[in-house]
Structure 1
Amino acid sequence: MSLSELIASVVDNPEGFGPSNQHLPAQFKDIPYAPFSKNDKLGRVVDWNLEASAAAGPAAGAQRRAGAPQGSGKYGREPKEAFGAGSAGTFAYFHDEDEASFSLVDGNKGAAAKRGGAAGGGLANLGRTGQFNRGGGRGGARGGAAGGRGGAQAYGRAGQQGRQDYARAGGKGARGATQGGRVGWKDWNKEQRTRDASVVIASDWAVLEEIEFTRLAKLRLEVDTTEVETVSSHGFLYEYDKTYDRVTTKTEKPLQIIDRIRYNPTTSDDPIIQELAAKDKAQIFATDAILSMLMCTTRTVYPWDIVITREGDKLYMDKREGGPFDFPSVNENAADPPLENEKDTLNTPSSLSLEATYINQNFAFQVVREDTESRIDLENPNPFYSPEETEPLASCGYRYRKFDLSITEDEDVQLIVRTEVDSFVKSAGAAEEDSYITIKTLNEFDSRAQGSGGAPDWRTKLDSQRGAVVATEMKNNSSKLARYAVQSILAGAEQMKMGYVSRANPRDSSRHTILGTQWYKPREFASQMNISLANGWGIVRTIADLCFKQPEGKYVLLKDPNKPVVRLYRVPYDAFETVEDVEEEIPLDAGSDGGL
């Protein structure tokens, strides 16, 4: 066919520009052709060597091979089809491929770099909201770093302000930096600490009860502590030296090491309690240290345990030798309490507890006047002192007091607790009786060390901002101070003397100085800390009722080391007895060879 014949055979397309498919000669039907408009822009050069699916783009070919619908684009939009393209062919083109490399460029980097808080706290929210987090501010970069993994790590130097700025704004900035990875409310992704129980739980211990702190906080029992019967009193007391009331940070005094003997036996080893139990004076027996811990259970964080023995209708609450009752804690309730650290063994919880025990005892020995003119003897001598002892006794008075825990008039539930007072203060009038006092201490180890709880430097703040120091201690040592107040109330002390003792050198835990003292009335102090005595008595009565429902035997009330839960276990009689104690109870036959 000649060219003229070929041209004559082509029929014009009345519907648009180009030949009509209906009148297209047979030899041209296999040639791909896409109708187009003159307004269309050239988007792509034809590659005749590619497969039709490949020419349509890898994404489109993969969709067809997988059987996916053609309208599912990367961003949830229908892919825009080239004008006039029918089924996928050589000219089928999808614009979605180019959007994979699309990214938003921040055009305001200069302004963000000047605001360290915004960079640290709000950068994580910038791409989503287009606005900076309001919680940034100065110090927000440090708050973001406290979150662990945030945008503040890249801008960590921008917010170096201080503890006050961090407390105001850094914490809020951390929320923006940890939107996707925080563990819980206000956790800031801090390391989860796992503590060990105060005693090893054996496999033969049976769990009888498990009580959460939320349930314990709802208990109530009204007990009149103003008119309490003092069954007996033992020991002697020295007068408090009032010259220590004038001690300040400018006239500090060194803490002295004084060798004195002071006894603190457990309940079952007390001969006076054994005598009172034989006379059926009460059903429940305890010491003020054990009872105060039980009454302040909901404030405790560190683990502890109480050994409870039921013998007939009597209940004895004991401590284990070397247990937590003999060593007061330090910063137990702080947001970031001290950690067990192999590098810094000076400020670990165990080392600080030993240091606090040393300070508490020596301060009480030092602030009393040891002379015969300033000494009063109680009704009975010290029941634990032996004439064979060579070292002198410390000033201490043991008062055995009875509390009525009865709920109704039909029942009679009495509790006898051994309480302790440390000294006395002479009354102003001759007709008035001398006032019993308790002596306690708070100790500062290092305001810049981990676990200090944000406490201010006592040497610069104690005299001018005493209220701020006390408020911080009430927050960081809520459990210990609550027990101090409850012990003083149980003993019937009219005043509580608080001493502020600090290290002479922050890196030396053997030398200390007294920076100041302060008087407190126990009931007013308890009111300031929101201590509910009714709740404490309700906890004591509830635990006693649970034990009275069980058969005779030995039980352990244990605070979970990592959860606000207490559990009551049934344990064997010999659960805490050493090998030497067992051999003493079961002597060998003199005529035998002892089984050897």
Structure 2
Amino acid sequence: MATGFKLPDLPPVKSAWGPHETEQFSEDVPYAPFSKGDRLGKIADWSVEQPKDGREQRGRQGAFANRFRDQYQTYGHGAASVFAYQHSEDESSFSVIDRGSVNRVRTSARNGGTLLKVRGRGGQNNQRTGARGGRFGGGAGRGNETVMTRASGGGGARGRRFGWKDYDKHQRVRNASVTVGNEWELLEEVEFSHLSKLNLAASSPETVDTYGYVYPYDKSFDKVHVKSEKPLQALDRVHYNPTTTEDPVIQKLAVSSEANIFITDSILSLLMCSTRSVHPWDIVITRQSGKLFFDKREGGPFDYLTVNENAYDSPMDADDREGVNSPAALSVEATYINQNFSVQAIREVEEEKHSLNNSNPFYNPNEETEPLAAHGYVYRKVDLSLDTDDKPVNLMVRAEVDGYMKTPSNEVQYVSIKALNEYDPKFTNVAGSVDWRSKLESQRGAVFATEMKNNSCKLARWTTEALLAGVDSMKIGFVSRSNIRDAQHHGILGVVAYKPADLANQMNMSLSNGWGIVRTIADVCLKMPDGKYVLVKDPNRPIVRLYSVPPETFEEPTAPASEISSS
């Protein structure tokens, strides 16, 4: 037996079998790397639909698809997208049949057949032929209509929800309340999201002086209901709403008092509730000798009330061809209703007249021929100082009261009287609108909740003005048109009473946030040199901008006081 075994010598191998260690490719040839650790499944699976862009597609299992990757993995699954075939045109969305979501309502036609009405959702493009368009499948001679619908948002329940005639709504593009001049300089720009985070715990307002007189509230209006509605009377009274610098009392207080911010309640309430505003507005700010004066422009948005400003689909000019329901016409109508209701809801009895410390500073009986509307003007001071301030920051505001009531102990309590108006109960474009004449008695809370939603800014401003004036009760009337096409005749359907503090809690109002907004704007303006500034709310975005303007801006000859007659 051989003692050992020895392999013969083999010649050296000059070239190994298999691929080279490194492979050189030209730039125009794609190369997909392959790892020995990759697990191979099926060679090819034509039942798995791959996206056209080559990206990995998650199957029906969703987040748990990785558990079954061995069964569902296809060779080349992780290859680069350059190997995936891509169509030059997307043919998956092409369909000969219209698959848009439509609402079909069958009714009987005049000839005994069926009438199929088709209303598309989303955008529509209608082509009508024949004498009567808009009907498909009708009798002979009815004409045909071809309706092509386009489903938005993916179609079906996965897309966004549509409202009534959402496809036919006009684009909400509003014009600015004032034209920004070329010489205006932009100083600050703040979004509402930042304003809503401001807070300042201000002290309670302190009454400095009172002017005018008021009459008692007529308690019979608390018993008014739909079946015994009262017609709204057109009473000729003179209503004054002068701006800050035209108020002779504020001019006197600017010299004698320690306040350095002067403003009226209508302007202050808008600043404090600015985050709720939708319509554009502007405020003129004058800095003089270290003091700020907040003014309104004549004929601007402060002289008129808004209607359904915060509604999902607020009124626009194109919504009503006749113009009776246009925003401008509704604003004038709401102001007319509010002024007349505040006069009609009081008892103008000379024996029950309650005079304040001073007479009305804006009315001259020797020059005026029409009687004066009873109003009380309360000038109050609010301390907005902080612990870090070098000198105190005080605000002087002119607030108004509309009437008074007496307690069982014969104590006088001031009342604020306002009116909400209904212009069209069938105006379905307003989300959640209800008919006051049919729902006010049985669902008064639901009606008022709808108004708090659609008129959030207006009601918040009224509540803020009541708190600033120190009134004890708010009387809010429901006034509706006698005819939906007649904006001159109205009926009073009912009155609700609220305490200002309770209504503020229901509306989720925060006075500390409002005072924080006012103090922030005042700090910016107090650091500026003497001059004129304009605070402008963007017409289509929740943004306010502060501009520096020339001193002669808005300088036009105006009356000594703003006078709005209710006639």
Q: Report the TM-score when normalising by structure 1.
A: 0.68
Distance 2:266 2:294 in 1: 11
State the SS of the aligned residue for 1:201: coil
Tell me which residue corresponds to 1:545.
523
Distance 1:101 1:509 in 2: 54
2:210 is matched with which residue: 233, 254, 268?
233
Tell me which residue corresponds to 1:251.
228
State the SS of the aligned residue for 1:231: strand
Tell me which residue corresponds to 1:220.
199
Tell me which residue corresponds to 2:542.
564
Q: 1:193: how far off?
A: 1.9
Distance 1:248 1:321 in 2: 38
State the SS of the aligned residue for 2:334: helix
Q: Is 1:195 the counterpart of 2:174 in the alignment?
A: yes
Distance 2:309 2:461 in 1: 13
Is the Cα contact below 8 Å between 2:283 and 2:295 reproduced in 1? yes
Q: 1:509: how far off?
A: 0.3
1:387-398 equivalence runs, <5 A: 387-388=365-366, 389-398=368-377
Tell me which residue corresponds to 2:146.
none
State the SS of the aligned residue for 1:250: helix
Q: 1:197: how far off?
A: 0.5
Tell me which residue corresponds to 1:407.
386
Q: 1:567-592 CA deviation, whole Å, 9 max, x = no partner?
A: 000111111012x479xxxxxxxxxx
Distance 2:211 2:455 in 1: 31
Q: 1:447: how far off?
A: 1.8
Q: 1:471: how far off?
A: 0.9
Q: Is 1:305 the counterpart of 2:282 in the alignment?
A: yes
Identical amino acids, percent of aligned pairs: 53
Distance 2:156 2:396 in 1: 53
Tell me which residue corresponds to 2:349.
371
1:525 is matched with which residue: 484, 503, 512?
503
Is the Cα contact below 8 Å between 1:405 and 1:541 reproduced in 2? yes
Distance 1:245 1:232 in 2: 31
Between 460-469 and 380-389, report the one with greater CA deviation: 380-389
Distance 2:444 2:341 in 1: 20
Distance 1:157 1:470 in 2: 40
Q: 1:536: how far off?
A: 0.4
Q: 1:461: how far off?
A: 0.2
| Bigger RCO (CA 8 Å, 6+ sep) | 2
Is the Cα contact below 8 Å between 1:403 and 1:416 reproduced in 2? yes
Q: Is 1:208 the counterpart of 2:187 in the alignment?
A: yes
Report the AA paired with residue 448 of structure 2. Answer: V
Q: 1:188: how far off?
A: 6.8
Q: Is 1:417 the counterpart of 2:397 in the alignment?
A: yes
Cα root mean square deviation, aligned: 3.5
State the SS of the aligned residue for 2:239: coil
Q: 1:255-303 CA deviation, whole Å, 9 max, x = no partner?
A: 0011111211000000000000011430000000000000001000000
Report the AA paired with residue 538 of structure 1. Answer: G
Is the Cα contact below 8 Å between 2:101 and 2:155 reproduced in 1? no
1:375-386 equivalence runs, <5 A: 375-386=353-364
1:484-523 equivalence runs, <5 A: 484-523=462-501
Tell me which residue corresponds to 2:55.
none
Is the Cα contact below 8 Å between 1:339 and 1:451 reproduced in 2? no
Q: 1:232: how far off?
A: 0.4
Tell me which residue corresponds to 1:338.
315
Is the Cα contact below 8 Å between 2:267 and 2:294 reproduced in 1? yes
State the SS of the aligned residue for 1:368: coil
Is the Cα contact below 8 Å between 2:473 and 2:497 reproduced in 1? yes
Is the Cα contact below 8 Å between 1:447 and 1:456 reproduced in 2? yes
Distance 1:205 1:179 in 2: 49
Q: 1:450: how far off?
A: 5.9
Distance 1:104 1:308 in 2: 61
1:353 is matched with which residue: 331, 350, 354?
331
Q: Report the TM-score when normalising by structure 2.
A: 0.71
CA 545–237 in structure 1, closer or farther in 2 if over 3 Å, else same: same
1:464 is matched with which residue: 439, 442, 446?
442
Distance 1:180 1:102 in 2: 17
Q: 1:104-144 CA deviation, whole Å, 9 max, x = no partner?
A: 999xx9xx9xxxxx9549xxxxxxxxxxxxxxxxxxx97x6
* Unmatched segments (≥5 aa) in structure 1: 1-66, 78-95, 113-117, 122-140, 159-172, 583-596
1:141-156 equivalence runs, <5 A: 145=121, 147-148=122-123
CA 194–181 in structure 1, closer or farther in 2 if over 3 Å, else same: farther
Is the Cα contact below 8 Å between 1:446 and 1:452 reproduced in 2? no
Q: Is 1:294 the counterpart of 2:264 in the alignment?
A: no
Report the AA paired with residue 305 of structure 2. Answer: P
Q: 1:174: how far off?
A: 6.9
CA 103–374 in structure 1, closer or farther in 2 if over 3 Å, else same: closer
Distance 1:394 1:103 in 2: 69
* Unmatched segments (≥5 aa) in structure 2: 1-28, 31-43, 52-86, 104-117, 127-133, 137-150, 560-567
Report the AA paired with residue 206 of structure 1. Answer: E
State the SS of the aligned residue for 2:208: strand
Distance 2:253 2:241 in 1: 18
Q: 1:102: how far off?
A: 13
Q: 1:178: how far off?
A: 7.7
State the SS of the aligned residue for 2:452: helix
Tell me which residue corresponds to 1:285.
262
Q: 1:233-266 CA deviation, whole Å, 9 max, x = no partner?
A: 0000000011111100000000001111121100
State the SS of the aligned residue for 1:383: coil
Is the Cα contact below 8 Å between 1:233 and 1:378 reproduced in 2? yes
Is the Cα contact below 8 Å between 1:331 and 1:451 reproduced in 2? no
CA 215–370 in structure 1, closer or farther in 2 if over 3 Å, else same: same
Tell me which residue corresponds to 1:480.
458
Q: 1:336-393 CA deviation, whole Å, 9 max, x = no partner?
A: 0101126130101111000000000000010110111221100000011113212221
Is the Cα contact below 8 Å between 1:423 and 1:436 reproduced in 2? yes
State the SS of the aligned residue for 2:227: coil
Aligned pair count? 437
- The structure whose residues are more often helix, as a share, is 1
Tell me which residue corresponds to 2:555.
577
Q: 1:201: how far off?
A: 1.1
Is the Cα contact below 8 Å between 2:401 and 2:416 reproduced in 1? yes
Stretches of 4+ aligned residues off by more than 6 angstroms? 100-106, 178-184
State the SS of the aligned residue for 2:377: strand
Q: Is 1:434 the counterpart of 2:412 in the alignment?
A: yes
Distance 2:180 2:210 in 1: 38
Distance 1:217 1:103 in 2: 48
Is the Cα contact below 8 Å between 1:501 and 1:512 reproduced in 2? yes
Q: 1:224: how far off?
A: 2.6
Report the AA paired with residue 435 of structure 2. Answer: D
Q: 1:453: how far off?
A: 3.6
